[in-house]
Structure 1
Amino acid sequence: MHVGNARYLKREDLPEIVPVFPLTGALLLPGGQLPLNIFEPRYLSMFDAALLGDRLIGVIQPSLVEEAGSGDPLRPALATVGCIGRITSFAETGDGRYITSLGGVARFRLLDEVAGSQPYRVFKFAPFMSDLTEEDDEASVDRGELLRVFKAYLDANKLEADWESIERAGNRTLVNSLSMMSPFGPAEKQALLEAADLKTRADTLIAITEILLARGLADTDTILQ
């Protein structure tokens, strides 16, 4: 996996621990780009530290299941799977915020939390090695069906897309980009993240979109471009 100026090909290319950034409803996938507006002091500190180090941040959703003893909003229970991102762009706004973008490197399974004096949380993790080697079978994706459902969603919401760019995109880029920009809720986003392979993610994306259309719940405020 090549992200920004770095290549991640084996476990040794990644650190043993990573700071985690909990974001409800956010989805970062390998090869994707997630823009962020950072303003909380603890996460400003996290990005400061990452910029001085390996530039890696773990993006993960808070757990979708209520757990006993997880009432601390500063230390919520977390989902078991997230995605590591590399800081690929960074700018200061002049009013204390950071405008940054993370490039997806690999999904990971959350392991033990590591105690420390930093204001943010740090965890050991196990990366999905298939994401580093990009072993997905792109030919297994039903591209025609995916584009059919995507177009139906656009038509239902009177939206437009850059079809020239879509036609040029490979199946991996297409599936992951559509998954990230989809207007689905946290549970659906987590299902897309945890899909076993590219074909499963594409099939899941198609199924969720068809359910959305069938129920007439398409979000007319969503803009896909």
Structure 2
Amino acid sequence: MAQRFDLPEIIPVFPLPGALLLPRARLPLHLFEPRYLAMLEDVLKTRERLIGMVQPNPAPGRDGCTGLHRIGCVGRVTQFSETEDGRYMITLTGLSRFRMTEEVEGFTPYRRVRVCWDSFDRDMGPTETDPGFDRDGFMNLLSRYFNARALETDWESLEQADDELLINSLSMLLGFEPEEKQALLEAPSLATRRETLVMLLEYALRGGDNEDIVQ
């Protein structure tokens, strides 16, 4: 895995609504647009093989990064395969979050940004734990959410997953809105991400913007 000093100042970014990547997690992606196929081709020529995942931002752009949230997460291409019609299936393994400072002009069909890695030191450290995690209460809440949405899952695997894998996997996989995914990404620690996730699950069970309560 890359060390902090190996991370470059300029990275390509892939804006994809609702696609969340977190440190030490894996995100499968399907690439088929010509500009992102070109991005992958260029990335695979580098030693680091890094792609930054960011959420589009409908708010007015600031700091030279129009239409993008400033905080994203970079991942390393750890698996890739080509289909017969020229598309690619890849897997990104999350390394560290970053803060974009400006967009870099150039001749590539995809976007590149200058980034700062400060404030995200814990991302490159060991697996996080959550000492205050009430797992029984959380699993009960999650069960209510899955029942309300008529969703199925492998409950045995969820029960056996460690704190970080459980919280981060659910943050990435559940169908939250892009702004909610961004809030999960920006949570400074695993404990605050778990608190944010609980809040989103409870909000959904109350019916979201609707007044009807989901029983």
* Fold in common (TM above 0.5): yes
Say whether residues 1:43 and 2:26 are aligned partners: no
How far apart in 2 are the matches of 1:76 and 1:123?
A: 11
- What is the percent sequence identity of the aligned residues? 47
Q: Secondary structure at the match of 1:45?
A: helix
CA 1:135 to 1:91, structure 2 compared with 1: closer, same or farther past 3 Å? closer
Letter in 1 for 2:161: A
Letter in 1 for 2:112: V
How far apart in 2 are the matches of 1:61 and 1:150?
A: 25
Over aligned residues, Cα RMSD in angstroms? 2.1
| TM superposition outliers: structure 1 runs of 4+ over 6 Å | none
How far apart in 2 are the matches of 1:130 and 1:47?
A: 27
How far apart in 1 are the matches of 2:76 and 2:61?
A: 30
Gaps of 5+ in 1: 1-6, 218-225
Structure 1 residue 160 displacement after superposition? 2.3
Match of 1:143 in 2: 135
State the TM-score, normalizing by the size of structure 1.
0.84
How far apart in 1 are the matches of 2:205 and 2:38?
A: 42
- Residue from 5, 10, 13 that aligns with 2:6: 13
Structure 1 residue 96 displacement after superposition? 2.1
Match of 2:97 in 1: 107
How far apart in 2 are the matches of 1:126 and 1:148?
A: 39
How far apart in 2 are the matches of 1:122 and 1:66?
A: 19
Letter in 2 for 1:35: P
Match of 2:212 in 1: none
How far apart in 1 are the matches of 2:107 and 2:208?
A: 49
Structure 1 residue 149 displacement after superposition? 1.4
Structure 1 residue 195 displacement after superposition? 0.7
- Residue from 23, 27, 40 that aligns with 1:30: 23
Q: Secondary structure at the match of 2:206?
A: helix
What is the correspondence of 1:1-225 to structure 2 with a 5 Å cutoff? 7-8=1-2, 10-53=3-46, 54-67=48-61, 76-127=66-117, 128-134=120-126, 136-215=128-207
Q: 1:68-113 deviations in whole A, cap 9, x for unaligned? A: 9x9xxxx852101101011111111111211111111111111222
How far apart in 2 are the matches of 1:108 and 1:143?
A: 30
Letter in 2 for 1:50: V
Q: Secondary structure at the match of 1:140?
A: coil
Aligned pairs, number? 206
Structure 1 residue 197 displacement after superposition? 0.9
State the TM-score, normalizing by the size of structure 2.
0.88
Gaps of 5+ in 2: 210-215
Instruction: Select between 157-166 and 188-197 the one with higher mean Cα deviation.
Output: 157-166
CA 1:113 to 1:205, structure 2 compared with 1: closer, same or farther past 3 Å? same
